[in-house]
Amino acid sequence: MNLYEYLIDAFNQAPVLIQIGFLIVLALIICIITLIISLRAIRSYLNIKGKEIIKNKKEFEALVVEYLYSGTGFDELSEKQLAIITRIKDAIISTSKRKSVITILSNLMNEVSGEMSDSIKTLYHKIGLITYATQRLESKKWHIVAKAIVELRRFKVYETQDKVATFLNHPRKEIRKEAQLYSVHLFKFNGLSFLDDLETPLSEWHQLLLLEALLNLENQKICDITPWLKSSNTSVVLFALKLVKIYTQFETKETLIELLSHPEKEVRVYTLKVLKELFGYEAEESLIENTSTSDLRIDAEMSLLNLVKN
């Protein structure tokens, strides 16, 4: 009888509990060995990917820098730039290389401005990254869609306006927020048209981001804010009041006075602040006269008193 047969025979003759215990120990040993092998394989894969990312980063950083400094000073691209565009365009078929290029261009966009920034945007367009970003808008994963919209906004891709517009009222707030920021960053006050039928609330932080986007825009033409002051969405009304205050929209006075009867106290109080900011003490009499109920009159008088004290 060889050793193998002896062990099998001993196992068969052992009590059931010992057999079960032996099988459990054997299974644990197999799991541990499998786990060790898997961890080593993962570590090896990550090391290879890390080296590949570093290699790609160095290669494409050099190409992008060369592209930026190979310009002719005119609108036309130089032969060197065209050759670099072709080389990068062929390379970014690979997902990992494409991610490296996007990261490099995004980082550069945060560091440069003016003509250099325009050159980076041109490169982004020429190498076809718009196509890949547009494809990611079709993803079922919300974070991929949100990142794609951020990318399109950063590189000022205007031609995807219609596709991004489909996300302005998206149920996922992260996607909705990025779509709205894209709209405002690229299309200024016209990009605020989503407020016309917005049903979801605008958080205070998101309102600040939208205002910041507007404040960074030059030569902007302010649209009619009045419809948003009459919105059924309280957060839209509050945002519109901020716009009235920042851009001193005196022509909205009558609508502002109507808001003193708004069912939300927050809206009434903020309206008083805006009226005080725009019209000063001369608004006091009309404010008190236009508050119909006793509670609203008290609100108006107390708010005005506090404003005067401040």
Mean pLDDT across the stretch 258-269? 91
Q: Check whether 177 has a pLDDT greater than 70.
A: yes
Report the phi/psi class of residue 108: left, alpha or beta, with left for phi > 0 and alpha for psi in -120 to 50: alpha
State the pLDDT confidence band at 2, using cuts at 50, 70 and 90: confident
Q: What's the pLDDT at 98?
A: 93
Lowest mean pLDDT among 28-42, 215-229, 294-308: 294-308
Planar angle of CA 185, 190, 191, nearest 5 degrees: 40
The 3-class SS string of the chain reads CCHHHHHHHHHHHCCHHHHHHHHHHHHHHHHHHHHHHHHHHHHHHHHHHHHHHHHHHHHHHHHHHHHHCCCCCCCCCCHHHHHHHHHHHHHCCCHHHHHHHHHHHHHHHHHCCHHHHHHHHHHHHHCCHHHHHHHHCCCCCHHHHHHHHHHHHHCCCHHHHHHHHCCCCCCCHHHHHHHHHHHHHHHHHHHHHHHHHCCCCCCHHHHHHHHHHHHCCCCCCCCCCHHHHCCCCHHHHHHHHHHHHHCCCHHHHHHHHHHHHCCCHHHHHHHHHHHHHHHHHHHHHHHHHCCCCHHHHHHHHHHHHHHHHC
Q: What mean pLDDT value characterizes the chain?
A: 86
Of 293 and 75, the structure prediction assigns the larger pLDDT to 75
Burial of 303 (0-12, 13-18, 19+ CB in 10 A): buried
Q: What's the pLDDT at 160?
A: 95
Q: What's the pLDDT at 220?
A: 67
State the pLDDT confidence band at 218, using cuts at 50, 70 and 90: low
Q: Check whether 231 has a pLDDT greater than 80.
A: yes
Which of the listed ranges 68-82, 147-161, 247-261 does the model predict with the highest average pLDDT? 147-161
Cα separation values, 270 from 34, 51, 104, 235, 239, Å: 64, 56, 44, 12, 10
Name residue 220's amino acid: Q
Q: What's the pLDDT at 125?
A: 93
Q: What are phi and psi of 94, to 5 degrees?
A: -75, 130
Q: What's the pLDDT at 104?
A: 93
State the pLDDT confidence band at 294, using cuts at 50, 70 and 90: very low
74-106 pLDDT, tens per residue? Answer: 678 888 999 999 999 999 999 989 999 999 999
State the pLDDT confidence band at 116, using cuts at 50, 70 and 90: confident
State the pLDDT confidence band at 112, using cuts at 50, 70 and 90: confident
For residue 279, give every residue at least 6 positions away whose Cβ sits within 8 Å of its Cβ, in sequence order, or none: 250, 253
Planar angle of CA 19, 25, 30, nearest 5 degrees: 125
- For residues 55 and 50, give the distance between their C-alpha atoms in angstroms, rounded to a whole number: 9
**Residue 96 corresponds to which tokens in the numbers above?**
């990992």
43-52 pLDDT, tens per residue? Answer: 988 888 888 8
State the pLDDT confidence band at 1, using cuts at 50, 70 and 90: low
Report the phi/psi class of residue 156: left, alpha or beta, with left for phi > 0 and alpha for psi in -120 to 50: left
Burial of 39 (0-12, 13-18, 19+ CB in 10 A): exposed
The pTM (predicted TM-score) of the whole model is 0.77
State the pLDDT confidence band at 7, using cuts at 50, 70 and 90: confident
Q: Check whether 232 has a pLDDT greater than 50.
A: yes
Q: Check whether 308 has a pLDDT greater than 50.
A: no
Burial of 127 (0-12, 13-18, 19+ CB in 10 A): buried
For tokens 């970014």, the residue is 92
